[in-house]
Structure 1
């Protein structure tokens, strides 16, 4: 869970630049509040911040070869750490931490080490022998890692806020960056701030004085599926159990594994399978809002699972007043490091995770099951033709939001000026062209592959990455067994008619867990994460929006349709449009303004 950061410079003596390095590291407080470790040489600085519950010693891993230093900072965890230790020791000192394992793997296999690492991770490695920096992310990019080139080197960090804080950087939001914020999708390898890039998932980047090169160490492929339905169910089940085994750890006292249980199919199936794989009912946690929650409460469904499996269960109550606490909203924005229109859908998980972290440092989540098991495509979407944008933007348009969720208060002329529609169309065609297909595949299989691929590679930020960042900020390491590349790679190639063999979404997952769960859970319709309907929350949004409109220095003000924003601030009933979708417009404005202030971002178009 730590945050990592660093700086490489071919001209400056970085042993004299401690202030700039410390300034960057300070911005990673959301990823590590308690410990900071730093390694400094003339040409490179590597830093790491961590919570006191994080594994390892909170310091860079170091080695000396031929009088030249090597250093590694690491975020995440390796699922195959024990196997790597057994393979790499051979009479040598046993690497204790994951950072030391990465360093040992690099010394043994060079850049080929990346494909031998299993888990969710981001790391930076400085090789003083060749004076090059390596940056690497896991296969699905669960762990964040951004970088920015400078005239004489490169800055990198887990979060763009750390890069923006460097004294040499003038953070700016250009037209493409604003479009990326509003569309909630970015071009591969691109960040939101001008010039800031992201290490692409499943890529290793090499930075030398002569330039930057990228090495892709894993990719999704299309392949024929030759198994029948019975064999497919058995294989999917075995792959899922293996993924659970790699991610399941007992607590520090030897107690059962912990699962975040909503009462939906995904988390319930995970809970049951964890119990089967470990032989012990897991400990479970469910979030509750009391009387201000969504119309379909999770409590009875979660309780049915708990009663059947015999789980040690806790219900975490989130109070309405906690959702409007300015200290909490600031912590959430720092944790996400990115504005979004999701408001209490960000705040509630953070508060939930914070309370879970008081009982355990690690919990398992059912996130990503929808994309892996084909739960994100409706019958209408599968049969429709002539798609021009992402499925989630199409769904927003169906609700009367032509520019997507959360964009209703921006000045219409601005969206045309920055080319928002063209940006979305370009990103969609770019993503669609990447989708691996088989020649001659059926149209329903092509569409199903496309939607799964788009969600897994473009909307992941709103699911797994969303939970990872909020969990990390709360001091909880969340693991995602459904995000296993072997499982996804297999199911990606299962035909749509098998994924929905009983006429429903996620048919395979239902069949895998049919004998393990209550019928009420197996037959429960999918519902979104619950939100609060408390009157005080909507009133607080209206008050904050009114205060923003009355502040002539608010950085977001030039971007707004002020008349529309004023109407919403004066009439809280407008927040109820489409359930939570109306208030998403205000949430986006408030978060974007707070983010622009926090990072001191200038507007440039």
Structure 2
């Protein structure tokens, strides 16, 4: 996994701009700690930071390939899991490849198929290709948006990078966050392409951007489509198993140590079981697994509406059943209160988050895992695809009118946003913005002709999760992992699996009346009974009362500093009241609000954004 950056200008001579290119690339050194490189011509410059995973000696970038009429140059991040099949096809068509790297395969695929190459790739990727023959840049992002890519138009061209920090290092950077950016910042659901910083845009998943002298143009090469599902239930269960076995096998290939993240839930245990079975067939040793826990969690655990059971007992059952080489990463809640850790998570995302300790502990988990492994397999995407969240069956979610997750999380989110100054809240009109987002999302969702209302509604709910909820989780996973130099792969986001299960009727996905019925049926024979029967349990949050007290104590220091930029957004009266609440009585909304304030303070300290309500 890597970090890419670049600058295309048809009005500047970029051959003298290596310091700028180096600075843009250096901001992403955590994404690629193993090597760095650059390529410069008069109108284009590409930078690259490498995390070596495949073909360690042969995958150096930017990579150049000679084509009839000129050179093709690539800066690429990600993994293409069907690179071996593509290599065979390209060689049969007369291409000569000199390395084992998937990067070279991607570049030759462009040489062979032009812009159509993206649709032939199976994987998670973001890449930039400069075609010297036509003086044209091509930016491509994978179908589900697992790998990030953003860009900004500048006079005469564009700048781009894996993360906003690369663009903010450009001398023409604008660090303004206006009202539109603040609306995106203070909502759980982000609009496709929105990047908060003014003028910055994320390339949407499944999209390709071309840039030439006529300017940039976005093209969609893939989107979810509604198709008739012809298989019966037994055939569907078998097909899901086949797809999972294939994608896990593909994503278990690496030239560096690989592991699995194991929570003791259905999703992660299923992936680990498939990986373990593959390891046994190949004669490899046991799969390494890692789980996160907190000191004192057994004593402080409390059942919540979304989390009925702690992970620990199920992790141990799963690890014993599968015979993994298991390691618990046990975090002291006090470690989460270290200001350096919060600053690291905010810097990783280039933005203040909304998840607080969930980001902090994930960052610390990945940092610990990276000491042992370079690649990890994770279960993101299963709940969105198979219907794992509690709100899939919530009456309010089924009635519609807003995003399904708002049925259970909306009240907490509104309480946390009480931190905003009244005039800021009035100006942003977040409720209206959310309604506009929802209406736009519904317009984009496909419907199968002749589908009954219930199936159509559940198809819509699935589409909303895959296009408006999952991208935020994938961004979080990418940023927290790459901040530590760890590559995380997500087999449930294989587009073949996504297309198949998205078009499987809801009555099959819930055929036994439980969440993720279809997935459970496809992998039940691999799982220990307690895990197979366990209900969905989200990523754990710290429940130690010490942590709530520490949030309030840190907020008191911030309040005493009276940061003018922070308090243009934050209501001082709300903060005073939140700091005075008994920590044991701190409700979830207020706690989330305090987390937001601390993240905002760290972000302002690190990035010095110019905030405007215009």
TM-score for both structures, normalised by structure 1: 0.93
Shift of 1:259: 1.3
Shift of 1:380: 4.6
CA contact (8 A) 1:377 1:451 kept: no
Distance 1:178 1:267 in 2: 35
1:136 aligns with 2:155: no
Distance 1:322 1:379 in 2: 35
When residues 50 and 291 of structure 1 are mapped into structure 2, their CA distance, relative to the original with a 3 A threshold, is same
Task: Show the counterpart of 2:240.
Answer: 236
Gaps of 5+ in 1: none
When residues 310 and 63 of structure 1 are mapped into structure 2, their CA distance, relative to the original with a 3 A threshold, is closer
1:42 aligns with 2:42: yes
Task: Show the counterpart of 1:438.
Answer: 448
Shift of 1:291: 0.8
Task: Show the counterpart of 2:461.
Answer: 451
Distance 1:22 1:57 in 2: 19
Task: Show the counterpart of 1:200.
Answer: 204
Distance 2:48 2:255 in 1: 25
One of 594, 600, 610 as aligned partner of 1:586: 594
One of 307, 310, 323 as aligned partner of 1:310: 323
Distance 1:479 1:193 in 2: 28
When residues 371 and 154 of structure 1 are mapped into structure 2, their CA distance, relative to the original with a 3 A threshold, is same
CA contact (8 A) 2:391 2:404 kept: no
Task: Show the counterpart of 1:160.
Answer: 164
Task: Show the counterpart of 2:288.
Answer: 283
When residues 472 and 572 of structure 1 are mapped into structure 2, their CA distance, relative to the original with a 3 A threshold, is farther
1:510-533 alpha-carbon deviations (Å, 9 max, x no partner): 112222222211221222211222
Distance 1:64 1:250 in 2: 28
Distance 1:48 1:572 in 2: 49
1:269 aligns with 2:267: no
Shift of 1:547: 2.1
1:100-123 alpha-carbon deviations (Å, 9 max, x no partner): 222211111111111111110000
Shift of 1:450: 1.5
Distance 1:395 1:589 in 2: 23
Shift of 1:36: 2.1
Task: Show the counterpart of 2:366.
Answer: 353
Shift of 1:67: 7.0
Distance 1:441 1:575 in 2: 48
Deviates more, 1:99-108 or 1:83-92: 83-92
Query: What SS does the aligned partner of 2:186 have?
Result: helix
Task: Show the counterpart of 2:10.
Answer: 10
Distance 1:52 1:225 in 2: 40
Query: What SS does the aligned partner of 2:143 have?
Result: coil
Query: What SS does the aligned partner of 1:258 have?
Result: strand
Deviates more, 1:114-123 or 1:313-322: 313-322
CA contact (8 A) 2:398 2:404 kept: no
Shift of 1:51: 3.9
CA contact (8 A) 1:393 1:405 kept: no
Query: What SS does the aligned partner of 1:512 have?
Result: helix
Distance 2:255 2:343 in 1: 30
Query: What SS does the aligned partner of 2:11 have?
Result: coil
Task: Show the counterpart of 1:477.
Answer: 487
CA contact (8 A) 1:49 1:58 kept: no
Task: Show the counterpart of 2:305.
Answer: none
When residues 406 and 76 of structure 1 are mapped into structure 2, their CA distance, relative to the original with a 3 A threshold, is farther
Query: What SS does the aligned partner of 1:201 have?
Result: coil
Task: Show the counterpart of 1:368.
Answer: 381
Distance 1:313 1:545 in 2: 37
Gaps of 5+ in 2: 303-308
Distance 2:114 2:551 in 1: 52
When residues 437 and 574 of structure 1 are mapped into structure 2, their CA distance, relative to the original with a 3 A threshold, is farther
1:409 aligns with 2:409: no
CA contact (8 A) 1:25 1:47 kept: yes
Distance 1:58 1:541 in 2: 44
Deviates more, 1:39-48 or 1:164-173: 164-173
Aligned length: 597
Shift of 1:157: 0.8
When residues 58 and 536 of structure 1 are mapped into structure 2, their CA distance, relative to the original with a 3 A threshold, is farther
Distance 1:29 1:544 in 2: 30
Distance 1:31 1:575 in 2: 40
1:48-85 alpha-carbon deviations (Å, 9 max, x no partner): 12346685644201134567443110111110121222
CA contact (8 A) 2:289 2:327 kept: yes
Query: What SS does the aligned partner of 1:142 have?
Result: coil
Task: Show the counterpart of 1:73.
Answer: 75
Query: What SS does the aligned partner of 2:417 have?
Result: coil
Query: What SS does the aligned partner of 2:419 have?
Result: coil
Task: Show the counterpart of 2:563.
Answer: 553
Query: What SS does the aligned partner of 1:359 have?
Result: coil
Distance 1:408 1:191 in 2: 23
Task: Show the counterpart of 1:258.
Answer: 259
Distance 1:283 1:142 in 2: 23
Distance 2:353 2:415 in 1: 9
CA contact (8 A) 2:397 2:407 kept: no
1:466 aligns with 2:476: yes
Task: Show the counterpart of 2:335.
Answer: 322
1:25 aligns with 2:35: no
Distance 1:352 1:416 in 2: 39
When residues 124 and 572 of structure 1 are mapped into structure 2, their CA distance, relative to the original with a 3 A threshold, is farther
CA contact (8 A) 2:123 2:142 kept: yes
Distance 2:17 2:253 in 1: 41
One of 505, 509, 514 as aligned partner of 2:519: 509
Task: Show the counterpart of 2:154.
Answer: 150
1:198-252 alpha-carbon deviations (Å, 9 max, x no partner): 1111111101111222222222111122222111111111111111122112664
The 5 A counterparts of 1:174-253 are: 174-249=178-253, 252=256
Distance 1:146 1:258 in 2: 29
Distance 1:51 1:119 in 2: 17
CA contact (8 A) 2:153 2:159 kept: yes
Distance 1:152 1:91 in 2: 35
Query: What SS does the aligned partner of 2:563 have?
Result: coil
CA contact (8 A) 1:285 1:356 kept: yes
